[in-house]
Amino acid sequence: MATLQPIAGIAGRAVAVPGDDIDTDRIIPARYLRCVTFDDLADGLFRDERFDDDGRSTSHPLDEPVRAGATVLVSGRNFGCGSSREHAPQAIRRAGFEAVVAGSFGEIFFGNATTLGLVCLALDDESLEAVQSAVQADPALELSISVADASITVADKTYPGELADAARTALLSGRYDPLAELLAGEEAVAAVAASLPYVAAGSGR
């Protein structure tokens, strides 16, 4: 299994997609889930917000030429709520983003994103508003996220944030994809399986 690079921090420019409770259907509409690989998902990112019913661009922040190459997505509270579709963080990742900064995250989204090495940093309302305003005001603004400190630095000001310990440790050690470690537990897995009557008895049929 390929070894992953530890992720200590993310630096780059940002784009703000404001709003609370942005669900995974909005991040990637269900019609883009009709696929058997994740390869072409970037096109579907926020598709219905970026284009109107007739396919015309709505000049969404994601499509502003000055934002091209941004690596940090800034949004609101409860980002990624709703459907468990990993297609959502996959689309964000494949569109070039390496971190999402938001007020809080839907739990399944947070787990899916972390497994892909997409850093999800949560900020309190006040800090988030400050970061969001700064990003909106200046497309060239460089942000820097420290995974170890769970903080973000914008224009020499550092805002402390929140990043669950398990995710932080995993990102810092390059173990955010847990599969290798799960496979290594096989002996203990077999013991637990054997101890559970509904599993040991087969499927009951």
List of residues contacting another protein (CB under 8 A): 1, 19-21, 23, 25-26, 29-31, 33-38, 48, 52-53, 77-78, 81-87, 89, 104-108, 111-112, 115-116, 125, 164-167, 169-170, 173, 175, 177-179, 181-183, 185-186, 188-189, 192-193, 195-199, 201-205
Instruction: Give whichever of 86 and 98 is closer to another protein, judged by the CB atom.
Output: 86
Instruction: Give whichever of 95 and 172 is closer to another protein, judged by the CB atom.
Output: 172
Integer-rounded Cα Rg, in Å, for the chain is: 19
DSSP helix/strand/coil, 184 = helix
Q: Minimal distance in Å, beta carbon 156 to another protein? A: 28
Question: How would you classify the pairing of strands 143-146 and 9-12?
Answer: antiparallel
Instruction: Give whichever of 10 and 113 is closer to another protein, judged by the CB atom.
Output: 113
Q: Minimal distance in Å, beta carbon 102 to another protein? A: 11
Q: Minimal distance in Å, beta carbon 138 to another protein? A: 22
Q: Minimal distance in Å, beta carbon 5 to another protein? A: 16
Instruction: Give whichever of 39 and 156 is closer to another protein, judged by the CB atom.
Output: 39
Helix then strand then coil, % of the chain, to nearest 5: 40, 20, 40
Helices (H) and strands (E) in the chain, counts: 9, 8
DSSP 82: S
CB 4 within 8 A of CB 176: yes
Instruction: Give whichever of 12 and 111 is closer to another protein, judged by the CB atom.
Output: 111
Question: How would you classify the pairing of strands 99-102 and 72-74?
Answer: parallel
Q: Which helix (H) or strand (E) holds 187?
A: helix 186-195
Q: Minimal distance in Å, beta carbon 139 to another protein? A: 23
